[in-house]
């Protein structure tokens, strides 16, 4: 693949465009805002969302979608998760039939509870689909820091070397950007959707003054929630232990470079959700996905207690203290889940007093 179109002029879309150009592709980057696209094309930098990283000569920036997708060998969708259906339909209207689509957005559609690959299938029928996900802060990718991601497509299972994921891996690989292939599209997608919600939980814990014990518990049990959801959707649990699951979770939950982690930390420090979201130019995906993930879990009849606690805080108006009490007072369970042991918490009645004391 020699001609790549990237739909989305945010930090991640810009970083992927830079990567594709470094790999030797001719790249067209579509940004919704004509003023932004004109400034990027003129100044060769995305000063608004990814400042400090020059655009290679192989990138053309435009706000004309038909021009952006013309002659593209593959189209990377890199827009907020809740815009995927609308943007996908717009791309489908002007793109050549059968051009592969690479989903580089993470989440679950809010109203339908559908994975984004399903949304793309409905919005862009006839286009083969791959998913790109993994631990990848945009600024570090743009800076050329060694980065590994997963690219998944269903055809890897029967044609590993000729699959869409393989062709994309060869197209995007550079000395510092290393794609790994997978055939578990669902497992890769679930990791990307859930990790942002767990990152908010880790941020809240940090904002409350909790230490690394709490972080380790949240990230480990959050990983188990990822595995449970992936398995319920016919994905594989082991996929979630890879780059698109554990890798992305560890990254997003460990650094305030993560919008979700920093948002959660500010919540834990008693800033209001409305204040925090009104001051942000970029989307905090975990806020929307906390609702869509837990709604989907309810439909499937599975428990995701950490995600549910985050949802209660960011969407249902529950105070952090009350959500923490509910989470800490849950029954004791076994690890692994297959043991199927549930014990009443022996000091459940003491949890409110403990929480009140530690947060005072």
Q: Which residues are catalytic?
A: 195
Phi, psi of 62, rounded to the nearest 5 degrees: -150, 160
DSSP string, 339-359: G--EE--TTGGGHHHHHHHHT
CA atoms within 13 A on the CB side of 126: 9
Tokens of 247: 């890798």
Three-state secondary structure call for residue 29: strand
Three-state secondary structure call for residue 74: strand
Angle of helix 320-328 relative to helix 351-358, nearest 10 degrees, comes to 130
Tokens 């980065």 correspond to: 147
How far is the C-alpha of 301 from the C-alpha of 290, rounded, in Å? Answer: 16
How far is the C-alpha of 63 from the C-alpha of 86, rounded, in Å? Answer: 16
Sequence-distant (≥ 6) Cβ neighbours of residue 312 within 8 angstroms = 318, 322, 323, 326
Sequence-distant (≥ 6) Cβ neighbours of residue 33 within 8 angstroms = 9, 63
Sign of CA dihedral 283, 286, 291, 292: positive
How far is the C-alpha of 42 from the C-alpha of 78, rounded, in Å? Answer: 22
Check if the beta carbon of residue 313 is closer than 8 Å to that of residue 334. no
Angle of helix 320-328 relative to helix 305-314, nearest 10 degrees, comes to 170
Tokens of 198: 């767990």
């Amino acid at each position: 693949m020699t001609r790549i179109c990237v739909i989305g002029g945010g930090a991640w879309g810009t970083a992927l465009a830079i990567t594709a150009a470094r790999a030797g592709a001719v790249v067209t980057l579509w940004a919704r805002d004509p003023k932004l696209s004109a400034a990027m094309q003129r100044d060769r930098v995305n000063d608004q969302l990814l400042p400090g990283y020059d655009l290679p000569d192989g990138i053309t920036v435009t706000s004309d979608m038909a021009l952006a997708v013309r002659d593209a060998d593959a189209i990377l969708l890199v827009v907020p998760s809740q815009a995927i259906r609308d943007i996908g339909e717009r791309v489908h209207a002007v793109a050549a039939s059968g051009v592969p689509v690479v989903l580089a957005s993470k989440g679950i559609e809010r109203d339908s509870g559908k994975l984004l690959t399903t949304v793309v299938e409905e919005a862009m029928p006839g286009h083969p689909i791959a998913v790109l996900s993994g631990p990848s802060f945009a600024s570090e990718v743009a800076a050329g820091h060694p980065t590994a991601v997963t690219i998944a497509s269903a055809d890897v299972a029967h044609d590993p070397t000729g699959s869409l994921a393989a062709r994309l891996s060869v197209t995007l690989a550079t000395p510092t950007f290393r794609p790994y292939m997978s055939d578990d599209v669902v497992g890769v997608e679930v990791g990307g959707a859930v990790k942002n919600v767990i990152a908010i939980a880790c941020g809240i814990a940090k904002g409350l003054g909790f230490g690394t014990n709490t972080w380790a518990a949240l990230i480990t049990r959050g990983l188990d929630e990822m595995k449970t959801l992936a398995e319920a959707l016919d994905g594989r649990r082991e996929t979630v232990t890879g780059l698109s699951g554990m890798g992305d979770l560890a990254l997003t939950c460990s650094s305030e470079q993560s919008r979700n982690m920093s948002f959660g930390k500010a919540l834990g420090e008693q800033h209001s959700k409305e204040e925090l979201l009104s001051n942000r130019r970029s989307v905090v995906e975990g806020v929307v996905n906390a609702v869509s993930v837990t709604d989907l879990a309810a439909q499937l009849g599975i428990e995701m207690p950490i995600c549910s606690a985050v949802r209660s805080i960011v969407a249902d108006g529950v105070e952090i203290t009350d959500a923490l009490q509910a989470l800490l007072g849950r029954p004791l369970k076994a690890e692994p889940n297959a043991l199927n042991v549930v014990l009443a918490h022996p000091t459940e009645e003491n949890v409110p007093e403990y929480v009140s004391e530690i947060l005072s």
